[in-house]
A and B are shown apart, each in its own frame.
Chain A
Amino acid sequence: MIKEDKVVTTTCPYCGVGCMLNLHIKENVVYKVTSPFDAPANKGNLCVKGRFGYDFIHAKDRLTQPLMRKNNELVPATWDEAMNHVAERLLEIRDKYGPDSIGFLVSAKCTNEENYLLQKIARGVIGTNNVDHCARL
């Protein structure tokens, strides 16, 4: 029998029901998913995605380094290069065309905190209300 290293209680990343999950971890792999019976939204129930749809976490093609387009090809870059380029280009474009020439798509898959901070950059730093996400899609 596999003895797990740890169990982490968290929230399912798929749909809006918000099922509570127990991720069972062994050697940094999620090898089993269960749900606590007292979970408020799902009472221990999970759908097929919620119980079995986690290979993507360990997928080989997960992005693990920043990429930048050079000679029309995406090539690996350092964080410093990539982030400086993003900041410089956003400010250039803002100064040349105005803040409303930049748009931000936040994400219905990201956390509240991430969404809050990205719209804070849009509104508070760039100065545009061009903030949206796929709520309608």
Chain B
Amino acid sequence: MTNSIADIHLADVLMITGSNTTEAHPVISLEMKKAVRQYGAKLILVDPREIELAEFATLHLRPRSGTDVALYNAMAHVILENNLANDEFIKTRTENFDAFKEAVKDCTPQWGEDITGIPAEMIVEAAHMYSQARSASIFWAMGITQSSHGVDNVQSLANLALLTGNFGRPGTGLNPLRGQNNVQGACDMGGLPNVITGYQTVIDEAVRTKFENAWGTSVKIPDKPGLTVTELMQGIHDGRVKALYIMGENPMLSDPNINHVAEALSEIEFLVSQDIFLNETGQMAHVVLPGVSFAEKEGTYTNTERRVQLVRPALPIRGDAKLDLDIICDLGKRLTKSNGKTSNDVIHQITDWNYKDASAVWDEIASLTPIVAGMSYQRLNPNGLQWPCPTADHPGTPILHKEKFTRGLGKFTPLVFREPAENPDEEYPFVLNTGRLLQHWHGGTLTRRSEGLDWVVPEGEIQINNEDAQEMNVTDGDLIRVTSRRGVVTGKAKLTSKLPRGMIFMTFHFVEVPANKLTGAAVDPIAKIPEYKVSAVKVERV
């Protein structure tokens, strides 16, 4: 998020798109509801489903799946046509405006309606509402990003915020709601193929040299980005990738096209799973290493508003399990001290892998990472700090891009609308959409072991529009079979009026009804994110 959870209620207009906030980020949805009900903000909701937030929306736009760029280009067109743009902001804080203006010249509301199915007058109204607010903030989640043009979708939203100058003030900005508790932190810490900590890029020689020297490595950090999750799985198929070390993840349930993942993991030469449960991935591993849960360890998580917060140990370690940090340090020691026993080149001891505790690891991170350089465990107690926090006396940064953007000027991106990789057709006439439920979490590893939660929602259902179901003579609880070009899943039907006609909705929480057997391998060309929200399927009564 460019802004903070604490300033959500200060927006005059909230535009929420591709986020079922009440189910996926419930506590943030409370702030959104408060903004509407208590502070009188207007809510523009963009979602094909009639989700709970629809009750709070001033405008609910229901686009055809995967047509986001067309909607936001058309809104930009309306804003420019009616001179509603923030000319001063465009002049002083942005670049590439002329190319952008040219790109949306023909994106009339009618053009938008033809592509998205949203009535032209609603597009016009949304454009007026968003651009005339004193402060307007945009929120999104995976409904925007999990697309074969996810980067375009995000840039189309950034264009709107640039056009109206909605940056750098409370209640404005671009606010992606991050999914997992520490997905922000995993990215910040270099858990990505192209960057080391704090988004210092591996293609920069100075960055590589800095880390090589600090770590005392004998190997060189490669100057090219590595492979993403989806590319790693393909790499196993192609025979390029021979070993995978997986810590705290279950690609056998969360990756797209899991039949393909299962094949890959059964072919791989060496697979290690470090986890607290023997999940579907661990069952295929050659070695399983028992780590510990959040309740038994010390460390930090970074939330969606960039706040680094402390995790404190509350319980003793169970059995012969080990702190995950100790497992990694043990591995580091063994890899560096084997003195070339199995390795041709001499592997030096890069550091001694003896850290006093988690805070000592943090101090090393801070010493190498400008955005968190001013943070220490002492300062993070009790309420955490938001990065960037470059020095020990810096208060942290609740709002980004106040005076200028990280890159200097905010850059408009001219965008051309592209269709999703796989639209419904005669053979596969339905769109499959996937998402979360309030009571369960991701692959279900944690929540399905929580008795109360599993009692409330014990099984995965396949949601289908009432009228579609009636035409197929399907009623609640009937078994239906959903088939895509990649796989087949059978489960109980749940009829609902909240889905548009022609859409099927499934969660990915239930191993018995695994939506990701159906999802496709299409990914965004830049972000490599899979298109989970649009897969063509057919539905039959069993």
Chain A proximity of B506: nearest CB distance (Å) = 15
Contacts A17-B28, A63-B277, A101-B242; is A40 near B332 (CB within 8 Å)? no
In the complex, which residue of chain A has the Cβ closest to the Cβ of B314?
Answer: A8
Per the bound structure, the CA–CA distance linking A9 and B228 in Å amounts to: 35
Chain B, residue nearest A30 (CB): B295
Roughly how many angstroms separate A25 CA and B296 CA in the complex, as a whole number?
12
Interface centre among A14, A42, A93, A111 (most CB of B within 10 A): A111
Residues in chain A near residue B191, CB distance under 8 A: 106-108, 115, 118-119, 131-133, 135
Partner of B302, one of A90, A99, A112: A112
Query: How far, in angstroms, from A106 to B301 measured CA to CA in the complex?
Result: 14
CB distance from A124 to the nearest CB of B (A): 4
CB nearest neighbor in B for A102: B243
Which residues in A have their C-beta under 8 angstroms from that of B331?
83, 86-87, 121
A84 to B289: give the CA distance in the assembly, Å: 12
Evaluate contact between B242 and A130: CB separation under 8 angstroms: no
A111 to B329, CA, bound (A): 14
Q: Check A113–B314 contact: CB distance below 8 A.
A: no
Query: Which residue of chain A lies nearest to B342 when distances are taken between CB atoms in the complex?
Result: A91
Per the bound structure, the CA–CA distance linking A133 and B183 in Å amounts to 8
Q: Is A56 part of the binding interface, using a Cβ–Cβ cutoff of 8 Å?
A: yes
A97-133: CB near B (< 8 Å → 1, else 0) gives: 1011111111111111111111111011111111111
Q: Which of A40, A57, A134, A137 contacts B307 (CB 8 A)?
A: A40
Say if the beta carbon of B92 comes within 8 Å of chain A: no
Point out the residues of chain B lying under 8 angstroms from A121, CB to CB: 328, 331-332, 335
For residue B450, CB closer than 8 A to chain A, the reply is: yes
Known: A132-B191, A132-B228, A136-B528. A82 touches B338 (CB 8 A): no
Interface centre among A8, A18, A48, A133 (most CB of B within 10 A): A18
Contact of B449 among A15, A19, A59 (CB under 8 A): A59
Contact (Cβ within 8 A) A129 B225: yes
For B313-340 the 0/1 string (1 means CB < 8 A from A) is: 1111011111011011111101110100
Given contacts A9-B312, A111-B311, 18 further A-B contacts (CB under 8 A): A11-B294, A16-B183, A48-B438, A49-B450, A53-B450, A55-B449, A62-B276, A88-B341, A91-B338, A95-B342, A104-B244, A111-B297, A111-B325, A112-B302, A115-B186, A127-B220, A127-B222, A136-B529
Counting from the closest, the 7 A-B pairs by CB-CB distance are A64-B319, A18-B303, A111-B299, A129-B226, A107-B248, A127-B219, A16-B178
